[in-house]
């Protein structure tokens, strides 16, 4: 059986990318099936990365016509018309051309909508848009798009993979999904895989951050989405300041996802600049350095799959020191 495994993402969006990469590496360790696996990448950089790691990979290039067709497919009556006229999406043709018999999506990718001629397995990371309301759920009709996507893939897929029993229960309760087709596979952190390799630290770069390691550093590595709840840490810092507890320092790192300016303004408004260091996107090696050298890691996120990753890290007694402070 020829199995296609869709690999997407960029190192600049580390959460989903690293989870997909870890899944790919684990799949490649299944020696008896390795020759059956072909990873489908969406750009040159991802393809080169997988080839470097001795994974069998090919590129699917989503051309301009396919992008237009994808938008048109989102309109129900046009989708029915295309199906009636047997107008196929380029991804559907790509799968047939390469004789794939089943497709595994390592992420909840939109291309799963074009697997009408082949069975597919889909990963669902979370359904937070259904359970809570954040600004990112209402930008560009995100809520409606997620609903349309889930209502298709949950019932068309061969199997569904989720990271925690809670997500399985939510899918059964909120979407009436068949529990027999849902498999629970815990997230596996990519960092231990990196940590086991020899790490070269750029000490000059690390020292340029001017982090006061003589204090108790509380580290929160998360992109600046509203649901990541950086504000909770700021509220805690305000309490510490009022109580004149000044032996803590907070370290943020991550790219902006629309909430950076708000968080920065909150720090400045409450005169907390001396209690916070914000650094840009950093490498895996630097994250490991901070994990090994800070007082603790905090995780106040109130949504997203990262919650389930940390649940699993606790249950597996991870080698990393993760301490609940507040």
Are residues 184 and 257 located together in one domain of the fold?
Answer: no
Kindly state the helix (H) or strand (E) to which residue 253 belongs, with its residue range.
Answer: strand 248-253
Cα–Cα–Cα angle for 37, 40, 41, nearest 5°? 140
- Chunked mean pLDDT (size 10), the chain, 326 residues: 86 68 80 84 88 90 78 77 82 93 92 92 86 68 85 94 89 93 80 58 65 92 87 94 93 88 95 92 79 87 59 40 30
Are residues 178 and 211 located together in one domain of the fold?
Answer: no
* Burial tier of 35 (Cβ tally within 10 Å: 0-12, 13-18, 19+): exposed
Tokens of residue 124, six digits: 């669902």
Are residues 77 and 156 located together in one domain of the fold?
Answer: yes
Judge whether 324 lies within some domain: no
For residues 155 and 175, give the distance between their C-alpha atoms in angstroms, rounded to a whole number. Answer: 10
Q: In sequence order, what are the residues at sequence separation of 6 or more whose Cβ sits closer than 8 angstroms to the Cβ of residue 190?
A: 18, 19, 21, 22, 284
For residues 144 and 291, give the distance between their C-alpha atoms in angstroms, rounded to a whole number. Answer: 38
For residues 157 and 144, give the distance between their C-alpha atoms in angstroms, rounded to a whole number. Answer: 20
Are residues 160 and 75 located together in one domain of the fold?
Answer: yes
Judge whether 60 lies within some domain: yes
Are residues 213 and 175 located together in one domain of the fold?
Answer: no
Q: Tell me what pLDDT residue 182 has.
A: 95
Judge whether 185 lies within some domain: yes
Range of the structural domain that residue 160 is part of: 3-191
Are residues 28 and 124 located together in one domain of the fold?
Answer: yes
Are residues 87 and 15 located together in one domain of the fold?
Answer: yes
Q: Tell me what pLDDT residue 320 has.
A: 35
| Residue where a domain stops, chosen among 136, 167, 191 | 191
Are residues 36 and 68 located together in one domain of the fold?
Answer: yes
Which candidate, 266, 265, 252, 262, places its Cα nearest to that of 301? 252
Q: Tell me what pLDDT residue 12 has.
A: 59
Q: Tell me what pLDDT residue 291 has.
A: 84
Q: Which residue has the tokens 């890691």?
A: 297
Q: Tell me what pLDDT residue 59 has.
A: 94
For residues 306 and 128, give the distance between their C-alpha atoms in angstroms, rounded to a whole number. Answer: 12
Q: Tell me what pLDDT residue 316 has.
A: 37
DSSP state, residue 128: H
Judge whether 38 lies within some domain: yes
pLDDT tens sequence across 56-105: 999 998 777 777 877 787 777 777 788 778 888 889 999 999 999 999 99
Q: What is the total count of domains within the chain?
A: 2
CB 218 within 8 A of CB 50: no
Judge whether 326 lies within some domain: no
For residues 68 and 219, give the distance between their C-alpha atoms in angstroms, rounded to a whole number. Answer: 43
Q: Look up the CATH number of the domain holding residue 17.
A: 3.40.50.2000
Are residues 218 and 143 located together in one domain of the fold?
Answer: no
Q: For residue 251, list its beta bridge partners.
A: 219, 277
Are residues 240 and 164 located together in one domain of the fold?
Answer: no
């Amino acid at each position: 059986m020829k199995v296609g495994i869709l690999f997407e993402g960029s190192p600049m969006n580390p959460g989903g990318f690293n989870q997909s990469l870890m899944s790919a590496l684990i799949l490649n360790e299944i020696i008896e099936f390795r020759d059956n696996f072909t990873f489908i990448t969406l750009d040159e950089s991802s393809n080169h990365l997988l080839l470097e790691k001795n994974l069998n990979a090919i590129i699917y290039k989503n051309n301009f016509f396919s992008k237009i067709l994808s938008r048109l497919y989102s309109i129900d009556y046009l989708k029915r018309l295309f199906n009636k006229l047997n107008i196929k999406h380029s991804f559907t043709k790509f799968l047939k051309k390469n004789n794939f018999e089943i497709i595994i999506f390592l992420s909840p990718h939109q291309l799963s909508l074009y697997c009408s001629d082949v069975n597919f397995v889909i990963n669902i990371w979370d359904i937070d848009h259904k359970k809570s309301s954040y600004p990112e759920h209402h930008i560009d009709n995100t809520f409606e798009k997620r609903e349309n996507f889930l209502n298709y893939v949950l019932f068309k897929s061969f199997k569904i993979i989720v990271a925690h029993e809670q997500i399985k229960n939510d899918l059964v309760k909120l979407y009436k999904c068949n529990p027999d087709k849902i498999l629970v596979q815990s997230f596996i952190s990519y960092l231990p895989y990196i940590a086991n390799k020899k790490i070269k630290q750029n000490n000059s770069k690390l020292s340029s951050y001017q982090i006061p390691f003589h204090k108790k550093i509380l580290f929160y590595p998360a992109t600046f989405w509203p649901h990541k709840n950086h504000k909770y840490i700021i509220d805690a810092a305000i309490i510490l300041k009022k109580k004149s507890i000044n032996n803590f320092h907070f370290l943020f790192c991550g790219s902006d996802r629309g909430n950076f300016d708000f968080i920065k303004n909150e720090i400045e408004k409450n005169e907390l600049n001396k209690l916070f260091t914000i650094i840009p996107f950093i490498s895996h090696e630097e994250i490991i350095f901070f994990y090994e050298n800070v007082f603790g890691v905090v995780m106040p996120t109130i949504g997203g799959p990262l919650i389930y990753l940390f649940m699993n890290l606790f249950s597996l007694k991870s080698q990393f020191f993760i301490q609940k402070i507040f």
